[in-house]
Structures are given as C-alpha cells and as structure tokens.
C-alpha cells in the first residue's frame, strides 16, 4: 500500500532526530532551522508479535513483515503560506502525505535553539495549523472564483452542491477551524477529496519530552497538548527523541533491557508506528507456509479479490475463492490441521471483507 505519513513541526523540535530513529537513516539533524531541505522518505517496519508466532510455527525460508512510509518534511515557520522559510515547498510536500504526525517540543533546553525563542507547544501547534488553514483557504477561494459565475448562469446540481459545500468549508476556515474538526458525510468527502485539503488529513501529535519526563505523567506541556488534541479526537504519543535515537542503535535484546531499566514496556516510536498505521485505516493479513511467512498491508474495508491483487494483479483478475482462517484460531489450536479439524477454515468469495489477522490462500484462474 503506497500510503505515507508526514512528520512535521517547527524547526528544532526533534522531528529529524525522531525520523532518524524511526528509519535508522543518517539524514542531517543539525541544530539550526531548515536542516532538512528536501523531504526524506523512509520505510518503517510495523511491529507485530504475530509474526514471531508464525515464524516459530512454520520455520519459513523467508519472513517478510509489513511496512509503510514516513516522510520527514522541512521545518515550518510562521508565514509559510505567504512564502516565509521554505513556504510553499513545505506545503506542497505535506499535500502528498495521507496523515500528519506533528512533533511538538515539550521540554526546556537552553542549548537547543527554539525558532520562537521559548517553549510553548500550543502556540507551536497553532502556528502550523494557521499556515495549513491559510493554504486550504487559498485553494477554496481559487476554486470558488473559477466556478462562481458558472453557478450563477447554470442550474447544474453537482456544481451547486460543490459551491455550497466549499462556502461552508470557507466559513469554517475563516474562523480558524481545521476541516478535520468538521463532520462531513460520504458524499461531501467524495467532493472534497480531489482538493487534498491539508487540514482534513488525520493527525497525531507527538510530544517530545526530556529523559526525566518520559515516565512522568505531570509534564505541564504534555497535558496542554493532550487537552488540545482531545478537541479534535486526535492521539498524543509521548516520546523522548534522544532516547529513541539511542534505542535505534541497539539490537532487540538490548532494547528490551534498556526499556525495562527505564520502566517502559514499549518504545515511543513503536507506539507511533502502530498508531499511524491505525490512523491510516490500515490492517494486516498474512500468507504463511514453509517457503515464506509474509504480512500484507491492506486498507480496512477491502474485499478478498482486492487483497489478492496486493500480492499480484493476476490473483485479483482470476480470483475464484479465498481459503481463510484467523491468526487467533491458529494461535488457539496450535497448527493448521487442528484449525481445520475445529471447522475454523472457511472458503470465502468475492464479497468477503478481509479482516485484520486473516491468514489466506487464494485460489485463482491462471
């Protein structure tokens, strides 16, 4: 699945350090604005303990986890919608992603420059929101200017509906209201989709804290971010970029020991990857055998032939049936033979909606 999440934030909030840790790529992470000029794209592995079980059971020659893309986008500053900083370059890059991860600085450190001279996470969030809102407003106004006369001279129902919707969108944007906080029905979302509005993209806030505050629930900056995020039903992931950077250089056993010493069950980046995967509406099905155990990413709501097509287009074209059983039944009964004996293996047709954790064998005409 070619879905991506973009990591954004003001300069020097820790997003490039986090991106380095996520993808284990050695991109520039300097202590000055615009250290990241071009968007950096990295493929991340989605942590999934189910693969460990399948690997032990099948002992395959090859084990392939599922993955998706993170894009690190250059730091935004106030006035970007009017060309300040990297301006429209930033905005064009962020339009290309499917979800936004906004890194917010929630720690004090006199040695790390803050572009606004002091730490204030809500101000930082609103700086970015305002720029995205202004960029969306420009798109709306340009479209209304182009089709306004057409509506006045025509009675085309589709155009009238679009204009009415865009005027509603415009009114909310003028009130500094991100579109993700609005309620749109399916038909309205279909109309809005081609515009690729920035403030309609789903968002996760990533609170970058100090080492000391990683296990502290009383960080006042984080509490403010959580309150802000709650208003738009968004998640907040707390992370320490410095620790995540150190963890990225360790093997799995060393990571476990490190996290245990900190009193943490799971790294912040693992939480972020899982949360972003879910935010994008992604789920996982598996194919399993002695040659290969593989996790496949699919969009929730996809039917069996579409999922077969993720493996190979011929599978979708010639789809006949899918032999399906649940990972959870396999874990419960211990092996495929026992799952079959328990009557838990099904033959599903073209209308079957794939479920997270399904293990599939596709039958198709060659």
pLDDT at 26 over 50: no
Residue of 97, 178, 169 lying closest to 140 (CA atoms): 169
Query: Between 151 and 232, where is the model more confident?
Result: 232
pLDDT at 266: 86
pLDDT at 28 over 60: no
pLDDT tier for residue 87 given thresholds of 50, 70 and 90: very low
What is the distance between the alpha carbons of residues 301 and 304, in angstroms, rounded to a whole number? 10
pLDDT at 360 over 90: yes
What is the distance between the alpha carbons of residues 57 and 39, in angstroms, rounded to a whole number? 40
Sheet arrangement for strand 62-64: 62-64, 292-299, 282-288, 358-364, 319-326, 346-348
State the residue for tokens 């509490």: 223
From residue 244, alpha-carbon distances to 33, 162, 230, 249 in Å are 21, 46, 25, 9
Q: What does DSSP say about strands 67-72 and 40-45: parallel, antiparallel, or unpaired?
A: antiparallel
316, 306 contact by CB (below 8 A): yes
Q: What is the pLDDT of residues 61-84, one digit of tens each?
A: 999 998 888 888 765 555 544 544
pLDDT at 113 over 70: no
Q: How far is CA 103 from the centre of its chain?
A: 13
Phi, psi values for residue 205, rounded to 5°:
-95, 130
| Lowest mean pLDDT across 88-92, 125-129, 153-157 | 88-92
pLDDT at 1 over 70: no
103, 12 contact by CB (below 8 A): no
What is the distance between the alpha carbons of residues 147 and 142, in angstroms, rounded to a whole number? 9
User: pTM above the 0.85 mark?
Assistant: no
What is the distance between the alpha carbons of residues 334 and 301, in angstroms, rounded to a whole number? 28
pLDDT at 9: 85
What is the distance between the alpha carbons of residues 71 and 236, in angstroms, rounded to a whole number? 19
Q: What is the pLDDT of residues 217-273, one digit of tens each?
A: 889 999 999 999 998 889 999 999 889 888 888 888 888 898 888 888 888 888 888
Q: Rounded mean pLDDT of 16-41?
A: 58
pLDDT at 179: 93
From residue 20, alpha-carbon distances to 35, 60, 77, 115, 270 in Å are 13, 31, 22, 21, 14
Q: What is the DSSP string of 284-300?
A: EEEEE-SSEEEEEEEET
Q: What is the pLDDT of residues 189-227, one digit of tens each?
A: 999 999 999 999 999 999 999 888 888 888 999 999 999
Average pLDDT, the chain: 85
pLDDT at 30: 41
pLDDT at 31: 42
pLDDT at 29: 42
Residue of 173, 233, 244 lying closest to 205 (CA atoms): 233
73, 6 contact by CB (below 8 A): yes
């Amino acid at each position: 699945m070619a879905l991506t999440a973009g990591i954004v934030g003001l300069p020097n909030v820790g997003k490039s350090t986090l991106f380095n840790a996520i993808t284990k790529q050695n991109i520039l992470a300097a202590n000055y604005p615009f250290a990241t000029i071009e968007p950096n794209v990295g493929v991340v592995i989605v942590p999934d303990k189910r693969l460990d079980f399948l690997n032990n059971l099948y002992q395959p020659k090859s084990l392939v986890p599922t993955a998706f893309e993170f894009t690190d986008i250059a730091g935004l500053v106030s006035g970007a919608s009017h060309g300040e900083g990297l301006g429209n370059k930033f905005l064009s890059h962020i339009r290309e992603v499917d979800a936004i991860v906004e890194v917010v600085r929630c720690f004090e450190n006199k040695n790390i420059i803050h572009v606004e001279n002091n730490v204030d996470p809500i101000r930082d969030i609103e700086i970015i929101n305002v720029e995205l809102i202004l960029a969306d407003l420009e798109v709306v106004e340009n479209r209304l200017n182009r089709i306004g006369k057409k509506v006045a001279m025509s009675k085309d129902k589709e155009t009238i509906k679009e204009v009415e919707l865009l005027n509603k969108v415009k009114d909310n944007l003028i009130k500094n209201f991100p579109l993700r906080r609005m309620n749109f029905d399916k038909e309205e979302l279909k109309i809005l989709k081609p515009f690729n509005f920035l403030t309609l993209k789903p968002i996760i806030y990533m609170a970058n804290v100090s080492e000391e505050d990683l296990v502290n629930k009383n960080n006042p900056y984080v509490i403010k971010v959580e309150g802000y995020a709650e208003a738009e039903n968004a998640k907040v992931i707390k992370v320490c970029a410095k620790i995540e950077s150190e963890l990225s250089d360790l093997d799995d056993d060393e990571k476990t020991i490190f996290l245990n010493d900190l009193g943490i069950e799971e790294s912040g980046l693992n939480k972020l990857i899982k949360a972003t995967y879910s935010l994008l509406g992604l789920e996982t099905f598996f194919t399993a055998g002695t040659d290969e155990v593989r996790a496949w990413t699919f969009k929730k709501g996809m039917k069996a032939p579409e999922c077969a097509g993720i493996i190979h287009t011929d599978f979708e074209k010639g789809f006949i049936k899918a032999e399906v059983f649940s990972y959870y039944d396999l874990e419960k009964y211990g092996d495929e033979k026992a799952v079959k004996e328990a009557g838990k293996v099904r033959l599903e047709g073209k209308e079957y909606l794939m479920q997270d954790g399904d293990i599939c064998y596709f039958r198709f005409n060659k």
